[in-house]
Structure 1
Amino acid sequence: MKPLSIAAMTFLLTSVAGCSLVSHEDEHPSQGVYQVELASAKHFMQQANKLESEMLTFCEEGDLQQVQQQWQQTMLSWMALQGQERGPESALEKSWNIQFWPDKKNTTGRKMAALVNSDKHWNQDDIAQQSVTVQGLGSIEWLLYDQDSPLKSSTKHCHVATAIASNLASNAALIASAWEENPWSGLDEKAWTSEYISLLSNQLEYSMKKMTRPLAKFGKPRPYFAESWRSGTSMKNLKANITAMQTLYLSDGNGLDHTLRQNGHIQLADSITRQFSSTLETWPVDESLFELLQTKEGYRVAYAQYNKLEQLKYLIHEEVAIKLGVVIGFNATDGD
């Protein structure tokens, strides 16, 4: 199975969102963004279902590469929802079940090793009662990529893998269901604009945290703090984050870009669209963040990418808020 490119994934999301959009003057201003979010949630659910299916196939046929590729596609689809602090509460509260990160003490590794070494035959209900560290994408990554995983050499512990994949698919379905209704339809235009900018800012700051933790202090990086270091896909994940934020910003012509232009702030809108485009065009994906942090030159490359996100943050969190006269909501990652 050939993995979808970032561009293909973006096209899928925008196409699904675009097909659902109907132009009505009395439509709530959040509708365009809501359609993007709904499409993202459904896409994630579809990918999680495929991962569950591929895991079952792997357990029968033993094709590790096939299920690894689907894990990556599921992870990339999650990037569109990752780090958001705005939306349906029942969807947001599932975030830790989907992905336990940051994992500062390798809790996932220790918990997963204990899980596979136990005598218990695990099923989905059992996994749902366990710590979030063994429920989501990170625990499946450990099974598929870690050198200590028994799946690397045998399908003996496949019941653990299928149980976790089934639990992930179940939680993805709950998230998609939570997005079936627009959570912002009751907000007035100013409150919605503040919520929208907060949505983008929170997600952007979460992506930046995914870089600041492993970058740490100059000369003393902490590569094991990088997301998806086992699979070596951290920079691909971040590019998917940025792609998703760009899609949210544009929202098929009904997003923040449109609002800025309507209010005469064309130069600022152009600056943001250029920053998104140039960041994506120059984003390195051939090496993971873990690999980049092994050398001084790699560290400089990684830090240069972080600076691109800093510029996006300044434009969206500062400039847009000032131009539109709105107050940005509190970000749960502040002070973390």
Structure 2
Amino acid sequence: MSGTITSGIKLSLSLLALGVLSGCQSTQNANTAKAEQTSHLSQSVYQVEFDAAQHFAAQTTQLSQAFTDYCANPGDAAELKSAWQQTMQSWMALQGQERGPLDALEQNWNVQFWPDKKNTTGRKMAQLLAKGEVVTAEQLSTQSVTVQGLGALEWLLYDTASNMDSNSNSCQLGVAIASNLHNKAQIIANAWLSNPWAELDKTAWYSEYIALLSNQLEFSMSKLSRPMGNIGHPRPYFSESWRSKTSMQNLKANLIAMKAVYLANGKGLDHLLRERGHADLADRVLGDFDDAIATWPMEDSLFDMLSTRKGYQSVLSQYNKLEELKYLIHEEVAVELKVVIGFNSTDGD
């Protein structure tokens, strides 16, 4: 493949120079940003969320730079794909949240459009490329969420219709999407500069804390249940990240992140339960987290696993473990803390 790029791409990359500089400044801000310090019961959980938001923003900066570097000198995309995967993994700590700063929650669909039931991302991306227009990050931010975030970048990197190694339009579009994604990530990071729960009383905070965990867990479960469909009739194209075959990696990252929220550096729900004399329940919850993580399948592709009986059974087994974890948190832990958890958008799916 030739390393020569078109003059149009050179111009586009030159115009993006200021944006890259801004990205570097954002990285510096992420490195120096400090979480709000409060004496509120939520402080330890807030710190976990703050760190996750800062990490995600930093990863998007690296991804944006990786796209710019690649398009300036196209070649082996392995490093670029690795940067995308690391960014996707960092997003797993924030994915599925329905609790937290409103400004952050409003960016969820912009960062990731899923589930993509009708391959809307593929169709919209193909249409956008067919226009042959140079699109900036600012222009992209006003278009469909299907062409803005992590899924759109995955399509460019892994779908054969993209031809990023030889299609200069694909490369330029990737630079714009990655830049837009970083802008959204910075909004999320900025939203977490202050503790959104600092004014809640104890009862309200306990309810919010359990709901935070429950919502994320239920979202993760939906990432298995949707593709599994009915027994014998899986829907593998409903899998998250099916093009890159990293669905199972993502889910393991979800679990690790949720365990971190549960522990909250030794001052979270686990500590609260033990402090109240419910060490047995705390051990069961922690044990379920540890067991699910330790026994997580080695396979990376949920799409491939669902194509065989053995793979389907393995996926179902992991889903059942998450269901048990959900029951413990949503029912037993909530009861012990006298918290009532309502329904959310994933219930009944």
TM-score (norm 1): 0.91
Partner of 1:102: 115
Conserved 8 A contact 2:162-2:170 = no
Which of the numbers 157, 175, 194 marks the counterpart of 2:188?
175
TM-aligned CA deviation for residue 152 of structure 1? 4.3
Q: How does 1:1-336 map to 2 (within 5 A)?
A: 27-62=39-74, 63-336=76-349
TM-aligned CA deviation for residue 158 of structure 1? 1.6
Partner of 1:9: none
**Distance across 1 between alignment mates of 2:165 and 2:305:** 25
2:174 alignment partner AA: A
Conserved 8 A contact 1:144-1:152 = no
TM-aligned CA deviation for residue 131 of structure 1? 0.3
TM-aligned CA deviation for residue 21 of structure 1? 10
Range with greater deviation from structure 2 (142-151 or 325-334): 325-334
Range with greater deviation from structure 2 (133-142 or 62-71): 62-71
Conserved 8 A contact 1:97-1:171 = yes
Q: For residues 191-245 of structure 1, what are the alpha-carbon distances to aligned partners after superposition, in whole Å with 9 as ceiling and x for unaligned?
A: 1001000000000000000000000000000000000000000000000000000
Q: For residues 116-144 of structure 1, what are the alpha-carbon distances to aligned partners after superposition, in whole Å with 9 as ceiling and x for unaligned?
A: 11121111111111100000000000000
Q: What residue ranges of structure 2 are gaps of 5+ in the alignment?
A: 1-30
**Distance across 2 between alignment mates of 1:243 and 1:135:** 27
**Distance across 1 between alignment mates of 2:305 and 2:208:** 35
**Distance across 2 between alignment mates of 1:251 and 1:157:** 41
Conserved 8 A contact 1:127-1:163 = yes
After superposition, the CA RMSD in angstroms is 1.6
2:248 alignment partner AA: M
Conserved 8 A contact 1:123-1:163 = yes
TM-aligned CA deviation for residue 20 of structure 1? 7.0
Q: Secondary structure at the match of 2:273?
A: helix
**Distance across 1 between alignment mates of 2:35 and 2:299:** 35
**Distance across 2 between alignment mates of 1:67 and 1:231:** 13
Change (3 A) 1:110 1:20: closer
**Distance across 1 between alignment mates of 2:327 and 2:128:** 44
Q: What residue ranges of structure 1 are gaps of 5+ in the alignment?
A: 1-15
Structure 1 residue runs of 4+, over 6 Å off?
19-22
**Distance across 2 between alignment mates of 1:302 and 1:83:** 20
**Distance across 1 between alignment mates of 2:229 and 2:287:** 28
TM-aligned CA deviation for residue 155 of structure 1? 3.7
1:136 alignment partner AA: G
TM-aligned CA deviation for residue 190 of structure 1? 1.0
**Distance across 2 between alignment mates of 1:277 and 1:64:** 35
TM-aligned CA deviation for residue 332 of structure 1? 2.3
2:52 alignment partner AA: S
Conserved 8 A contact 1:150-1:156 = no
Conserved 8 A contact 1:195-1:329 = no
TM-score (norm 2): 0.88
Conserved 8 A contact 2:141-2:180 = yes
**Distance across 2 between alignment mates of 1:111 and 1:154:** 17
- Tell me the number of residue pairs that the alignment of Structure 1 and Structure 2 aligns: 316
**Distance across 2 between alignment mates of 1:123 and 1:109:** 20
Greater Rg over alpha carbons, structure: 2
TM-aligned CA deviation for residue 323 of structure 1? 1.2
Percent identical = 56
TM-aligned CA deviation for residue 325 of structure 1? 0.9
Change (3 A) 1:241 1:214: same
Change (3 A) 1:187 1:329: farther
